[in-house]
Amino acid sequence: MKKVIIVDDEASGRKLIREYMSDFPELVLIAEVNNGVDAVKTINEFKPNLVFLDVQMPGMNGFEVLAHLEELPQIIFSTAYDQYALKAFEVHALDYLLKPYTRERFQRALKRLNTENDNHVLPLAENIMHSQAKYPERIIVQSGKKYITIATKSIQRIEAWGDYSRLHTGDQTYISNFRISQLEEKINPDTFLRIHRSSIINIHSIKEINKLPGGYDVVLINKDIVNVSRSYIENLRKLMF
């Protein structure tokens, strides 16, 4: 049995795959999603063996989805756009189904599933890792019951929150599943500065710095005031000329 997720923003595309999958009882459909953000959340949650993946979708495209996955399943692209075929095979996708495709073409793609092993996943992961910027320009965060993408540069302050972190933008607060020390390793140190055990700030969001008897307070453009602890004061002084 192989667990399958279908990712396609068009209902007709998802319906066609369901129809053709009926010829393969070993394939079990566990979820369908219609956008890139939900695709990342669903794939990371259910860990499927196979994903039918569209390329052009709301939120993020298929290649961006792959870059945000914790584990990489086998991928068959299903899309109406032929210009991405070369890139799909560069990331070691099993096949590239160009819409509209026939049942026979679908069956040929599934034959590759039965002959390929999971050794393709490692080069797929390596290829995606090397093709991504060192520090992400957009990240996926939780907003209520949904997951959305936000621009990293919009984050003004990161606050430790138990085993999690809170990301503060100009007018919103989002929850990250990572600890603040983990986030510190993932974001650009030229932009984000650790000034306290529980605080990281975006240096572009600094409005002013107040000198106190025992140290400094940083005032951000959203009027948040963040204390600079003694153990991190040298980080701030490096910006002072």
**pLDDT, tens digit (0-9, with 9 covering 90-100), for 18-77:** 999 999 999 999 999 999 999 999 999 999 999 999 999 988 899 889 888 877 889 999
Domains and CATH numbers, the chain: 2-131 (3.40.50.2300), 138-237 (2.40.50.1020)
pTM of the full predicted structure? Answer: 0.55
Give the pLDDT mean for 219-230.
Answer: 92
Instruction: Provide φ and ψ at 192, rounded to 5°.
Output: -110, 135
Q: How far is Cα 63 from Cα 128, in angstroms, rounded to an integer?
A: 8
Q: Residue 142 has what pLDDT?
A: 72
Q: Does residue 58 have a cis peptide bond before it, meaning omega lies within 30 degrees of 0?
A: no
What integer best gives the mean pLDDT of the chain?
86
